[in-house]
Structure 1
Amino acid sequence: MKGKIKATWNILWLVLLMVILFSYAMFQGGFVSWFLFYSFLPLFLYQLLLSFYPFKKWEITREIPRSVVQAGDEIYVTIHMKRNSVFPLFYCSIKEQLPDSLMIRDVKKEKYRSFSNPERLQGNRTLNRIVFPLFRKKISFTYAIQQVPRGEHQLQAVTLRTGDIFGLIKKQVTIPVENKLVVFPYIHDLKIKDRITSYDQGAVASTVVNQSNTNIATGVREYAPGDRVSWIDWKQTARKQEVMTKEFEQEKSTEMLVVLDTCNRTQLNRLAYEASIEISSSILMEFQKKDHQANFLSIGKESHFFSSQYGRSNHSPVNRYFIHAQPSGTQPFSIRLKEELKRNKKSEIIFIIVTHLDDFLMQVLLEGKLGRKYLAVIFIQAESLITEEEHRIIQQMKLANIHVQLLSDQHLLESPIEVNFR
């Protein structure tokens, strides 16, 4: 409303100025007075036409060649503007209406240098461009959105501004232009080391997922480090002239489960939470490369379970979940975890990713470890923010034979990140 009143006042001011000049020319006469009147007349007509110019009829489209990227990447956006008339415009200011979700900058691993102070990554991201259309009907320009954060971001509108060279007439219009940016979590390069299992013939590396005690053989395969002597099929070894071991049914059906803490807390470190999302996604990706079948369970206000059978394509349910995942709920994670472990009895190997430790959680883990082959905890937090209580709990869990892997800011800056399950 204020804009319309101001525009009307500017038009009246122009008309008044033109009337004054015309009156001066009529009463004063002479070359100078009429020269001023006719010199100002084209400008007056241009400003009058500009005040009625249909700015809203501009056609705006936004072109995004790569609308699906990884956190920390750069996205190039091209804006195309089209109009029907050749009415001269001296300038046009374009402002992209960026959503609040893009006000965080993700600099991949480098963001963990601000682990203890995540607010440093907050910023006011704006985009303003000025073009000079003159008589052109079509105008295009490209800009880059750098360091995009994880999430689904909606670009909804573009604001255009123009005016005359004196600043008397100003026009502004916001044109809806909807586009969606999909940003997946940053994938870390991991180096996973499994625990060392000692057998009678010495210490050999044994992948956790391949440990099996069943004696129901379903086939044979080549010997792999960590296989027991009792698994060797001597007949097939003699026939093929290479060591062959029995393949057991349980080797194919052993279930692994990756559990992520997405419960909200008062003192939740948002950067630690972001790291937990990235590490969860990276671990699942690493397991997939090694053909290990791992299910995923997210525990927050609601629990979200994703089976390994869906795979890890960009369109898989678990990857879509990682895009939108946010901390939720008020109930402590330890209570929710206890409920979920009671429901889930099939998973024999469990990896739990958390950003906070307490005594009740340790008690839940001790109970959950019973009857399972392996249980490990990945604790993610800035080194300076780990409390004395959490240090004590880590030591107690290690004494209770619960493996705890600490990933601090120094660990997350490494490439590859070493995850030790020994």
Structure 2
Amino acid sequence: MKKTAQRLVRVVQLCLFIGILFAFAMFQGGFLSWFLFYSFTPILLYMLIIPFYPFKLWDVQRDSSANYVHAGSSVELEITIKRKTRFPLFYVMVEEFCPETLRFKDIGDKKYQYIADQSYYYENRQFRKILFPYFRKQFTVSFQLDHLPRGRHEFSTIKISTGDPFGIVSNEYHINTGSQMVVYPAVREIKWQLRANSLEEGSNPANMYDDRLTNVVSGVREYIPGDRFSWIDWKTTARKNMVMTKEFEQEKDAHLAILLLVNNTKSDLPMSLEAAIELSLSIMSMMRKKGQHLSLHILSDQEKHFTSQQIQSQFPNIQNYLAALRPDDQSHDTMRLQRTVQYLPKGTLVLTIITNLDQELVDSLIAKKKLDYQLAVCYITSEKQMTLENQRMIQQLRLSNITVQTMTEKDLVKEKWEVSATR
């Protein structure tokens, strides 16, 4: 309303100025008076048109060099404007409104060196450029988006404004043109160390995930990329007309479940949640390439479970889900944790990734340890938050034969993350 009133005031002032020039030419007469009137009249008429210029007739399109990228990447955003007339415009300012989700900048693994100082990574991004189209009917403007953070980023509004060369009048218009960009969590290189496990109770331990036993064949299954050439069952392949590989006893029994808890993280360190999500995705990506049995269970405001088959065949959908995952204010739900774990096969290694540690969670994990599950906890936090109480709870878990690994700034800034589930 205020802008409309200012526009009307400017129009009235211009009309008065034209009237004054006309009156001066009529009463004064002579060449100079009429020269001034005819010289300024086209300029003043042009300035009168500017506030009513029909921007809504413009065709504005937004395109990006990529709609699906990983965190920390760069994308070029291009805005193309087409208009129907060649009405001269001295300048056009194009501004893309930055989504709130883009206030954070992701500088790669180095972002974790200031995990306790979140303000270091916030940036007031401004996407604004001035063009001088004059009589052109089509023109483009591009913006470079660097250090993209994880998430789904919704672009909705483009602001276009113009004015006269003297800055007396102006006009602006907001164009709603929606588009979305999905930024997946970054995938880190993982150095994997798992505790040894035996196939049968009382037998010698064998490494579950690095080497497979090739002397105990339990069946056949369809080929998964990453299987060895020597595992192919040629007779079954010829009979079924599809590539089939042997399934070994260890492969059948070995199972890893990732349990990601994202509850109650708004009050803590948001950067720790980013590390937890990147760690979960990196482990899945590595295990998926090896064809290992793996499941993912996410406990946030809503439960989400991904089976081993979904991880193999629907991996992009999992990336999409993790890209949009946000913390909530709910506390850890012990009942949901117990309900999730109880459906896993006995002997499953449950890797629990947490960013917040409390006594209720500790008691729940200890209770599950008694039900013949192998439990490992990866606690992502800042060194400043490693209080005596946290250290006491970690020691309590270790005394219950639960592996606990803490990952702080010095671990997260490394190029290769080390995940250990050994005592």
TM (normalized to structure 1)?
Answer: 0.85
For 1:88, what is the secondary structure of its paired residue?
Answer: coil
Distance 1:59 1:312, change over 3 A: farther
In 2: Cα distance, 1:264 partner to 1:118 partner? 17
Matched ranges for 1:189-200 at <5 A: 189-195=189-195
In 2: Cα distance, 1:362 partner to 1:98 partner? 41
Distance 1:66 1:133, change over 3 A: same
Matched residue, 1:404: 404
Which letter maps to 2:173?
V
Matched residue, 2:158: 158
Q: Could you tell me how far 1:248 is from its partner in structure 2?
A: 4.6
Matched residue, 1:321: 321
Matched residue, 2:243: none
> 1:192 touches 1:420 (CA, 8 Å); kept in 2?
yes
Q: Could you tell me how far 1:342 is from its partner in structure 2?
A: 3.4
> 1:258 touches 1:296 (CA, 8 Å); kept in 2?
yes
Q: Could you tell me how far 1:264 is from its partner in structure 2?
A: 2.0
Matched residue, 1:256: 256
Q: For structure 1, which segment, 66-75 or 370-379, has the greater mean C-alpha deviation from structure 2 after superposition?
A: 370-379
Q: Could you tell me how far 1:341 is from its partner in structure 2?
A: 2.5
Q: Could you tell me how far 1:150 is from its partner in structure 2?
A: 1.0
Q: Deviations over 1:306-351 (max 9, x none)?
A: 1010135776442222011112352324453234323445561111
Q: Could you tell me how far 1:50 is from its partner in structure 2?
A: 2.7
Q: For structure 1, which segment, 108-117 or 309-318, has the greater mean C-alpha deviation from structure 2 after superposition?
A: 309-318
Please tell me the root mean square deviation across aligned C-alpha atoms, in Å.
2.7
In 2: Cα distance, 1:399 partner to 1:134 partner? 76
> 2:265 touches 2:355 (CA, 8 Å); kept in 1?
no
Q: Could you tell me how far 1:362 is from its partner in structure 2?
A: 2.4
In 2: Cα distance, 1:60 partner to 1:347 partner? 58
> 1:218 touches 1:247 (CA, 8 Å); kept in 2?
yes
> 2:109 touches 2:415 (CA, 8 Å); kept in 1?
no
Q: For structure 1, which segment, 292-301 or 27-36, has the greater mean C-alpha deviation from structure 2 after superposition?
A: 27-36
Which letter maps to 1:188?
R
Q: Could you tell me how far 1:209 is from its partner in structure 2?
A: 4.2
Q: For structure 1, which segment, 114-123 or 65-74, has the greater mean C-alpha deviation from structure 2 after superposition?
A: 114-123
Matched ranges for 1:65-104 at <5 A: 65-104=65-104
Which runs of 5 or more residues in structure 2 are unaligned?
A: 199-203, 221-245
Q: Could you tell me how far 1:89 is from its partner in structure 2?
A: 0.5
Does 1:149 find its partner at 2:123?
Answer: no
> 1:353 touches 1:379 (CA, 8 Å); kept in 2?
yes
In 1: Cα distance, 2:319 partner to 2:313 partner? 7
Matched residue, 2:127: 127
Distance 1:383 1:216, change over 3 A: same
Which letter maps to 2:111?
K
For 2:259, what is the secondary structure of its paired residue?
Answer: strand
In 2: Cα distance, 1:263 partner to 1:75 partner? 31
Matched residue, 2:227: none
In 2: Cα distance, 1:289 partner to 1:50 partner? 60
Matched ranges for 1:210-225 at <5 A: 217-218=217-218
> 1:116 touches 1:384 (CA, 8 Å); kept in 2?
yes
TM (normalized to structure 2)?
Answer: 0.85
Q: Deviations over 1:153-203 (max 9, x none)?
A: 1111211000111222211101111111011111111111223579xxxxx
Matched residue, 2:342: 342
Which letter maps to 1:290?
K
Matched residue, 1:39: 39
> 1:89 touches 1:162 (CA, 8 Å); kept in 2?
yes
For 1:274, what is the secondary structure of its paired residue?
Answer: helix
Distance 1:103 1:414, change over 3 A: same
Distance 1:187 1:217, change over 3 A: closer
